[in-house]
Chains A and B, each alone.
Chain A
Amino acid sequence: MQPSLRLNRRAFLQAALTAAAAAGASVGCGRNQSPWRFFTVDEARTLAGMVDQIVPPDQDAGAAWAGVVNYIDRQLCGPYESLQKIYRQGLAGVDQTSESIYGRVFADLESHQQMELLHHLEDGKVPGAAWKQLSSAEFFGHVVDHTMQGFYGDPRHGGNRDAVSWKMLNLPYPPIRGRVRYDSPKARSG
């Protein structure tokens, strides 16, 4: 079931996040009062806003609905453990910069403001103490790459919910389509 994509953007995001967080709630590494393994609730909210600019919802689902925050959260407690610090600093930096420019945290910005801020991050031209230790372009590069992995990669890693991106690309199902051909008598004889 696909949630209505006509919901307004913020309500939609909120619904998606709640659903995704609930799905991951039982696994948490639980150092904080958060349903996530690694992220705080606020961090997850900021990241959801970012990933939804990177792969925005339109006629097809966006990255947040597809579970990209869940994907990144999971990898940060696994293969991407070494990037925990970068995410912690980077997400704090995004909100810090957002508040200093727009007076609001990133998740509460208008879409065009979010986009503008992300372009600044990408160009490495952002004010804020956080970016003295961490290159904003490097942080943003990680987020873009991990968003692509979570959105376009195998659902088994916690993103690409319902294989939504593969359906979007009209990739035939099941993923190992060849087996169908392999099993059919015509393929065997041809």
Chain B
Amino acid sequence: MSLKHVNAVIVGSGAGGGVVAKELAEAGLSVVLLERGKWFTPFDERKDDLRNQRTCVLGNAFGPDERNPRVYADASGREHVVPPTHWAYSNNAACVGGGTLSYGAMAWRFMEKDFRLRSTYGAVEGSTLDDWPISYADLEPYYEKAEWEIGVSGDDSNNIFRAPRKRALPMPPLPPTREHQILKPAAQRLGLHPFDIPMLRNSVPYNGRGACMRCRWCVGFACEVDAKCGTHNTVIPKAINTGNCELRSECIAREILTSDRGHATGVAYYDSNGRLQEQSADLVVVSCAAIESARLLLNSKSRLFPNGLGNRHDWVGRNLQGHAYTGAIGLFDLETYDDLGPGASIAVCDFNHGNSGFVGGGLLANEFIRLPYQFASRTAAGIPRWGAGHKDFMRRYYRSSISVMGPMQEMPVFDARVQVDPKVKDHWGIPVARLSGHRHQNDLLGTNFMSAKAEAWLKEAGATTVIRSGPISLDGPSGGQHQAGTCRMGNDPKTSVVDKYCRVHDVENLYVIDGSVHPNNGGFNPVLTIMAIAYYASTNLVKARKGMGTS
């Protein structure tokens, strides 16, 4: 029995797909939202410091599972089949809400310059760096919409570098932690401009859910009091409540189906019982995050599209980026730990742009609370790795240390890419993603600079010893939870995959709406930008559809 035809089928219910589902459903379109993972509720929540999305030594809590391997080709070209818990897998959670169920929830707006890096810094050798086809001003109303609909707390009024905003954040920041109180005056003495990080987290009751209880189990975990705001507890329930959207979880998309005329006609997927289904639709939206979105397009081959959809010019899967993280850890004589989650609360944007010697930069912020095993396993250079010295270090500094870190804006590299592997298939027989390539030299220069700035901040704050992160490795592509770039947005179909409205250039009813479309990924956690683009693209999609008179 074939499934009832709908107006739109959306693949992936993360930051992008969840927002699109709600926008289309509210506009009156019938929507099917496919998600490969499960739908967790706060009552399923279990805090496990060895089995979560950030520390997954005993597995990840929110998927994907071992049935979903990937292939990683290392710098020497050797191929490794890796499970989702392997670092080279570049995992993002597979569940309703995607990464937004268990993320740290920083809610950054990119800066104006992030949308025109090429114009600001010029061409960069060895990089496909380009401007976005849209500006910050185009996205500004949609950033605001994301902040108010999904819910952001914080206060960036002291951030003199931020792009202009029309409306303040809907919720105040959480009261400052001890770390915050130590770091703030130190930053001010250095002439920096510290402020309260915007977070997709209820600091006060909002949207019918309660406030953060400030536990230490935040990033990597789902929130058991539902105070963390993701798409799973905001826009997706709203979409369903319209009566127009059906969410189908544990459904694995195999390919996007196309007609002889080159239109997308729907999605073939394996349902939760492993049965192959075909969902036909007027339009298809791909929102699987940068690695899986590219994989789905590349796996959708046909006579008209022998190299996969949107891939006429070999740009699908290219420019895979994430963030190179860097910073420093400061050791103090006084106690810095007050057991108030989530931990991260104060940031500076003084180093996002205008640094000499390299392109771009990134924010610096204090880290989320590091649980004991995380702290024990990431001891810095010069600290004994084991033995009495290590144990003493743990006792002395677990509660007397501050870590300042930040995401470096990575330069897009054409050869850092997602392909589909010719041999390895997943549990459902679908060719898996193959990751290969390297990072750009600029990432190394930038991270070295930023870790020196983190060191200076911690020293000013009174750290007796500061240990910088070691230099990053340029081997292997970046990605991880911040994965982006593989279906670049651009005006020229020869050097991009989607147009400025996220529509695939040569398939008029196929959209990619997630971090894949970012030409570059900012020096910021990208989730709020993904949400803003989803609002923006959905709004234009609905307008275009009404213009065409297709109801």
Q: Which residue numbers of A lie inside 8 Å of B, CB to CB?
A: 53-56, 58, 60, 75, 78-79, 115, 122, 144-145, 147-149, 151-154, 156-157, 165-166, 168-172, 175-179, 181-182, 187-188, 190
| Interface assignment of B141: CB less than 8 Å from any CB of chain A | no
Q: Which of B341, B373, B388 contacts A152 (CB 8 A)?
A: B373
Q: Which of B175, B341, B373 contacts A190 (CB 8 A)?
A: B175
Task: Contacts A55-B391, A169-B399 given; indicate if A178 touches B213 (C-beta within 8 A).
Answer: yes
Q: Which residue numbers of B lie inside 8 Å of A, CB to CB?
A: 47-50, 57-59, 175, 210-211, 213-217, 224-225, 339, 341, 372-373, 375-377, 385-388, 390-391, 394-395, 398-399
B232 CB → nearest A CB, Å: 21
A58-B391, A149-B377, A151-B376 known; 9 new pairs, CB 8 Å cut-off, are: A55-B391, A79-B59, A144-B385, A145-B377, A153-B50, A166-B372, A170-B399, A175-B47, A178-B213
A177 touches B339 (CB 8 A): yes
Once bound together, how far apart are the Cα atoms of A72 and B58, in whole Å?
Answer: 11
A172 touches B391 (CB 8 A): no
Q: CB-nearest residue of chain B relative to A59? A: B395
Residues of chain B within 8 A of A166, CB atoms compared? 372
Once bound together, how far apart are the Cα atoms of A113 and B217, in whole Å?
Answer: 40
Once bound together, how far apart are the Cα atoms of A179 and B224, in whole Å?
Answer: 10
Q: Which of B47, B213, B398 contacts A187 (CB 8 A)?
A: B213
Residues of chain B within 8 A of A179, CB atoms compared? 213, 215
Q: CB-nearest residue of chain A relative to B210? A: A182
Once bound together, how far apart are the Cα atoms of A156 and B49, in whole Å?
Answer: 10
Residues of chain A within 8 A of B216, CB atoms compared? 175, 177-178
Number of A-B contacts (CB under 8 A): 91
A168 touches B395 (CB 8 A): yes
A171 touches B50 (CB 8 A): no
A55 touches B390 (CB 8 A): yes
B47 touches A176 (CB 8 A): yes
B175 CB → nearest A CB, Å: 7
Q: Which of B58, B59, B213 contacts A182 (CB 8 A)?
A: B213
Once bound together, how far apart are the Cα atoms of A145 and B341, in whole Å?
Answer: 26
Q: Which of A147, A154, A171, A172 contacts B48 (CB 8 A)?
A: A154
B208 CB → nearest A CB, Å: 16
Residues of chain B within 8 A of A60, CB atoms compared? 391, 395
Q: CB-nearest residue of chain B relative to A175? A: B47
Task: Contacts A169-B398, A177-B216 given; indicate if A154 touches B50 (C-beta within 8 A).
Answer: yes
**Interface majority SS (helix, strand, loop, mixed), chain A:** helix
B130 CB → nearest A CB, Å: 41
Residues of chain B within 8 A of A168, CB atoms compared? 394-395
Task: Contacts A152-B373, A171-B372 given; indicate if A144 touches B213 (C-beta within 8 A).
Answer: no
Once bound together, how far apart are the Cα atoms of A54 and B213, in whole Å?
Answer: 36
Task: Contacts A54-B387, A55-B390, A56-B387 given; indicate if A152 touches B376 (C-beta within 8 A).
Answer: yes
Residues of chain B within 8 A of A171, CB atoms compared? 339, 372
Residues of chain B within 8 A of A165, CB atoms compared? 372, 394
Residues of chain B within 8 A of A53, CB atoms compared? 386-387
Q: Which of A58, A115, A152, A176 contacts B215 (CB 8 A)?
A: A176
B50 touches A182 (CB 8 A): no
B214 touches A178 (CB 8 A): yes
Q: CB-nearest residue of chain B relative to A168? A: B395
Which 3 pairs of residues, A with B, have the shortest CB-CB distance? A178-B215, A182-B213, A178-B213
Q: Which of A122, A147, A149, A172 contacts B339 (CB 8 A)?
A: A172
Residues of chain B within 8 A of A178, CB atoms compared? 213-216, 341
A149 touches B213 (CB 8 A): no
Once bound together, how far apart are the Cα atoms of A153 and B376, in whole Å?
Answer: 10
A to B CB contacts below 8 Å, 24 in the list: A55-B391, A56-B387, A56-B391, A58-B391, A60-B395, A78-B58, A79-B58, A115-B387, A122-B385, A144-B386, A145-B57, A149-B57, A149-B377, A152-B372, A152-B376, A156-B48, A166-B372, A175-B47, A175-B216, A176-B224, A178-B213, A178-B215, A182-B210, A182-B214
Once bound together, how far apart are the Cα atoms of A152 and B387, in whole Å?
Answer: 14
A48 CB → nearest B CB, Å: 15
Q: Which of A54, A144, A157, A188 contacts B50 (CB 8 A)?
A: A157
A169 touches B372 (CB 8 A): yes
B305 CB → nearest A CB, Å: 39
Q: CB-nearest residue of chain A relative to B85? A: A79
Once bound together, how far apart are the Cα atoms of A188 and B214, in whole Å?
Answer: 12
Residues of chain A within 8 A of B50, CB atoms compared? 149, 153-154, 157
Once bound together, how far apart are the Cα atoms of A182 and B211, in whole Å?
Answer: 8
Task: Contacts A171-B339, A178-B215 given; indicate if A55 touches B386 (C-beta within 8 A).
Answer: yes
Q: CB-nearest residue of chain A relative to B57? A: A149
Q: CB-nearest residue of chain B relative to A79? A: B58
Residues of chain A within 8 A of B49, CB atoms compared? 153-154
Residues of chain A within 8 A of B341, CB atoms compared? 178
Once bound together, how far apart are the Cα atoms of A152 and B379, in whole Å?
Answer: 14
A148 touches B373 (CB 8 A): yes
Once bound together, how far apart are the Cα atoms of A112 and B47, in whole Å?
Answer: 39
Q: Which of B59, B210, B377 contacts A148 (CB 8 A)?
A: B377
Residues of chain A within 8 A of B213, CB atoms compared? 178-179, 181-182, 187
- Identify which of A78, A153, A190 gathers the most chain B CB atoms within 10 Å of its CB: A153
Once bound together, how far apart are the Cα atoms of A171 and B387, in whole Å?
Answer: 21
Residues of chain A within 8 A of B48, CB atoms compared? 154, 156
A128 CB → nearest B CB, Å: 21
A181 touches B214 (CB 8 A): yes
Once bound together, how far apart are the Cα atoms of A188 and B385, in whole Å?
Answer: 42
Once bound together, how far apart are the Cα atoms of A138 and B536, in whole Å?
Answer: 50
Q: CB-nearest residue of chain B relative to A188? A: B211
B373 touches A149 (CB 8 A): yes
Once bound together, how far apart are the Cα atoms of A144 and B175, in whole Å?
Answer: 38
Q: Which of A56, A148, A157, A172 contacts B58 (CB 8 A)?
A: A157
Once bound together, how far apart are the Cα atoms of A156 and B51, in whole Å?
Answer: 11
Once bound together, how far apart are the Cα atoms of A153 and B47, in whole Å?
Answer: 11
Q: Which of B217, B376, B385, B387 contacts A176 (CB 8 A)?
A: B217
Once bound together, how far apart are the Cα atoms of A171 and B217, in whole Å?
Answer: 13
Once bound together, how far apart are the Cα atoms of A170 and B339, in whole Å?
Answer: 10
Q: CB-nearest residue of chain A relative to B335? A: A170
